[in-house]
Chain A
Amino acid sequence: MSWAQRIVDLLKAQDIRFIVYVPDMVVWQVLQLMEEDPFFHLVAATREEEALGIASGAYAARKRSAVFMQSSGFGNCLNALGSLCIPYRIPFPMFISLRGELGEFNIAQVALGRAVVPILDSLALQHFAPRTEAELEPMVDGAIRLCYSSRTPVAVLLAPMLTGGKRG
């Protein structure tokens, strides 16, 4: 089973149907599988900050959601985390595809890609980066449980060692 299919199954097992995203080549591998599955409701946002707003609204109306984005776009949503999700205690898992790592071909992706972890740390948001398929289940399932018990967003970082990344 592919890493992408495992993530789909783990979301399903936790009853997360509402998916808000801004696509990239890596997260699209997961989103494509969900698009074919009537269990999921996918909403494309124009910008990552908007995606966090939509996911927050869904939680406010008692619906669980997950957000998918790239590390570059993570930079677009910091104010939503700092002034909405954290003070109001709004949980959802954020699946962030990491650029700027092994095999990166575009210098413009490197700085923010490398800054994702320190930014998450500075906001006291927990993050997990499964490197193998064996690590996927405990980390994704555990991150989802943790985010709802702590009522805080939690990040799952999708690194090239797991996904193969984007090669040019």
Chain B
Amino acid sequence: MDRLEATRLLVGKLSNEPVVANLGMATRDLCAAQDRDANFYMWGAMGLASSVGLGVALATPDRKVVVLDGDGSILMNLGSLATIARERPRNLVHVVCDNQQWGETGGQPTHTATGTDLASVARGAGISKVASASTLEELGKVMDRALKEDGPWCVVARIEPDTERPTINRIEPEVNLWRFRRTFE
């Protein structure tokens, strides 16, 4: 499936849920799909989107929290899956868009292109609600469940290699954080 379309579908299912987007394509797509106060756009700290999302989820146990991650990013921080499994935040929905490549750096194949199965890794880390989706229809069904049923969820979405790179208006990181924090008042 197309990543931007997948992001649009996902954002369309949200109301005020906080979303933490990994640097690069996830941040660009989320901002292009719908810029909202509850979006946290990362421009650095590759690998840490899932950790930041975990921190948000543990701090606000009554709101669903969505992380938009990538294969290159989660491969850099697989320990995060073990920490999520250990903390068991019921409200965390970790979506990994797996395009089997480092999209920001020229499309080099990542380790998921050479056999690493992120859904199995998540299960092995101890996360029980793990799902894979390879079409928009499947992703929609899984997200409906993940946004309703207790997690933590790890949803691996198989997406096509990057084609489009949406142009967005960048928001100052400081302003982004200030805006995001206001949604928790």
Task: Report whether chain A binds chain B.
Answer: yes
Binding site for B on A (CB under 8 A): 18, 20, 41, 43-47, 49-63, 65, 79-80, 82-84, 87-90
Which residues from 49 to 65 on chain B have a C-beta closer than 8 Å to any C-beta of chain A? Answer: 50-60
Is A49 touching B48 in the complex (CB atoms < 8 A)? yes
Is A89 touching B59 in the complex (CB atoms < 8 A)? no
- The closest CB in chain A to the CB of B55 belongs to A57
Given contacts A79-B45, A84-B42, contact A56 B52 (CB under 8 A): yes
> Which residues of the other chain, A, contact B51 by a CB distance below 8 angstroms?
45, 49-54, 56-57
Q: Does more than half of chain A's interface fall in helix, strand or loop, or is it mixed?
A: helix
CB-defined interface of B166-185 with A at 8 Å, one 1/0 digit per residue? 00000001101100110011
> Which residues of the other chain, B, contact A55 by a CB distance below 8 angstroms?
55
Binding site for A on B (CB under 8 A): 18, 20, 40, 42-48, 50-60, 77, 79-80, 82-83, 86-87, 173-174, 176-177, 180-181, 184-185
> Which residues of the other chain, A, contact B185 by a CB distance below 8 angstroms?
62
Is A88 touching B173 in the complex (CB atoms < 8 A)? yes
Query: CA of A82 to CA of B45 in the docked complex: distance in angstroms?
Result: 8
Query: CA of A77 to CA of B87 in the docked complex: distance in angstroms?
Result: 21
22 A-B pairs with CB atoms under 8 Å apart are: A18-B58, A41-B58, A45-B51, A46-B79, A46-B80, A50-B80, A52-B51, A53-B51, A56-B51, A57-B52, A57-B53, A58-B59, A60-B52, A60-B181, A61-B56, A83-B43, A83-B44, A83-B45, A84-B45, A87-B43, A89-B174, A89-B177
Of A58, A59, A84, A87, which is within 8 A of B48 by CB? A84
- Shortest distance in angstroms between A90's beta carbon and chain B's nearest beta carbon? 7
> Which residues of the other chain, A, contact B42 by a CB distance below 8 angstroms?
84
- The closest CB in chain A to the CB of B180 belongs to A60
Query: CA of A106 to CA of B40 in the docked complex: distance in angstroms?
Result: 42
Is A61 touching B44 in the complex (CB atoms < 8 A)? no
> Which residues of the other chain, A, contact B59 by a CB distance below 8 angstroms?
18, 57-58, 60-63
Is B83 touching A54 in the complex (CB atoms < 8 A)? yes
Query: CA of A88 to CA of B181 in the docked complex: distance in angstroms?
Result: 12
> Which residues of the other chain, B, contact A80 by a CB distance below 8 angstroms?
45, 48
Is B83 touching A43 in the complex (CB atoms < 8 A)? yes
Of B56, B79, B86, which is within 8 A of A57 by CB? B56
